[in-house]
Chains A and B, each alone.
Chain A
């Protein structure tokens, strides 16, 4: 193994990436863990916003509908980086004002919580649109049938709408998850030590830029490819029982 690395001229890179202290491998993995934590939280928070947003857009009153339209349009037209800065400053200001009003003084906000709040609000706008489209794709008769049985709205959502829309929503949600994992890199600009920032620190203190950036790229790519495979499985499960359309267009 070592002979092979020597042969390829990669011995130095392997040393730099090793998991024990002279190498920086552990830092990268810790960054990856933080990235995934933020991505997971933001995706979940975005889904909650998206579910309420989609229901608001479909069944809400005219004012709610217009406000949600403004929310989704603005978030999708302004760069994530700008939104992250605005939401970060607004979030910390609001929390500090609240805690000062309660007499606790200024509080330090954890990077992970801030990242989840900031990216979640951005993700919420996109998932609102994805879920709205998916709910619209559910055959109206199914929802009407459930109503005719006298199902209360929440039970209807839990038992009929959500399971039936899942197969339509999953491709869009898979895309959103991939965007969430990649958007965590933007938090490096605000100074959260997630994978990209850890990588940059490792790279600039060892001057081995290519080694570290390529290694981080490989980690991101691994996450992307693995979650694509996972979402394919989930979609197949959500679609079970639906007739295949293969060859139907002919």
Chain B
């Protein structure tokens, strides 16, 4: 604890902290916050939707990234080529374009297909969030698939040979040895990728998903207050990003690793 506090007590840092506190107090006192109580329930709903979209798309995207990375690392050419093409396509085009392609493109094609309006899926296909979730998931899978390729290739060869010499079946080897060590390899990158994914979520506001960014835009349009909702929004994103970073640090510390020097 002291190790974290001591560097904060240097005189120039104390002055900076004082300046920051003064800035926050000035913001709280002189800027307009009267809209806040009215929009708070909507903001909470939006926050929940942001977190939910982030969690679901990273989870599903990671599930998709494992086969993508594995195919690229050790797969035969007829699996590795499509995987590589997919990753290049996703990483080479802007996410906003992908979201719009899926929402407007698929959204305009679906109603023309016979029978789809009577199917059980139709109530979902009419809403925006399935498209948002799909686009975010595919994007995360594309970026993470590339990372997982390196992770699978980086697992120590001896470990795999040892497992094989014990007569482990191929799937058990993958589940017990290869995948856990690959995930261990990517944990630090995964934290950064998750924060990047958080920063991608506001894009879905452009296809009418009401998450936290959309709420702040609505406040701006309704009340003509420009800076306050944006500053609060930036603060909210910083807090979420900080929490993600802390969570991944905790996760990394739980995994026993041999560090150089001890």
Determine how close the nearest CB of chain A comes to the CB of B53; give it in whole angstroms. 13
| Cβ A210 vs Cβ B93 within 8 A | no
Instruction: List B residues 233-262 near A (Cβ within 8 Å).
Output: 233-234, 237-238, 241-242
| Cβ A221 vs Cβ B96 within 8 A | no
**In the complex with contacts A62-B10, A81-B203, A182-B104 CB distance below 8 A:** no
Q: B100: which of A62, A67, A196 is its contact (CB, 8 Å)?
A: A196
Cβ-closest chain B residue relative to A203: B104
> Interface-forming stretch among B37-45, B157-165, B179-187, B193-201?
B193-201
B67 in the interface (beta carbon within 8 A): no
A200 in the interface (beta carbon within 8 A): yes
> Interface-forming stretch among A72-80, A113-121, A137-145?
A72-80
| Cβ B202 vs Cβ A79 within 8 A | yes
**In the complex with contacts A62-B12, A77-B238, A86-B97 CB distance below 8 A:** no
| 8 extra interface residue pairs, beta carbon distance < 8 Å, beyond A79-B237, A189-B203, A217-B98 | A82-B202, A82-B230, A86-B231, A188-B96, A207-B108, A209-B101, A213-B104, A221-B89
Contacts of A196 in B (CB 8 A): 94, 96-97, 100
Contact with B along A70-104 (1 / 0, CB 8 A): 00001011111111011001000000000000000
For the complex, count residues of A whose C-beta is within 8 A of B. 40
Contacts of B89 in A (CB 8 A): 217, 221
Determine how close the nearest CB of chain A comes to the CB of B66; give it in whole angstroms. 24
| Cβ B104 vs Cβ A220 within 8 A | no
Determine how close the nearest CB of chain B comes to the CB of A32; give it in whole angstroms. 12
B2 in the interface (beta carbon within 8 A): no
Residue numbers of A with Cβ under 8 A of B are 62-63, 66-67, 74, 76-83, 85-86, 89, 178, 182-186, 188-189, 196, 199-200, 203-204, 207, 209-210, 213-214, 216-217, 220-221, 224-225
Number of A-B contacts (CB under 8 A): 108
| Cβ B101 vs Cβ A81 within 8 A | no
| Cβ A66 vs Cβ B238 within 8 A | no
Determine how close the nearest CB of chain A comes to the CB of B254; give it in whole angstroms. 24
Contacts of A67 in B (CB 8 A): 16
| Cβ B202 vs Cβ A220 within 8 A | no
Contact with A along B91-133 (1 / 0, CB 8 A): 1111111101100110011000000000000000000000000
* Pairs across A and B, CB under 8 Å, 12 listed: A62-B10, A62-B13, A78-B234, A78-B238, A78-B241, A79-B213, A184-B94, A199-B97, A204-B104, A210-B101, A210-B109, A224-B93
| Cβ B237 vs Cβ A78 within 8 A | yes
Q: A86: which of B93, B201, B227 is its contact (CB, 8 Å)?
A: B227
Determine how close the nearest CB of chain A comes to the CB of B226; give it in whole angstroms. 5
| Cβ A225 vs Cβ B237 within 8 A | no
Contacts of B100 in A (CB 8 A): 196, 200, 213
Q: In the complex, what distance in Å separates the CA atom of A207 from the CA atom of B242?
A: 42
| Cβ B97 vs Cβ A217 within 8 A | yes
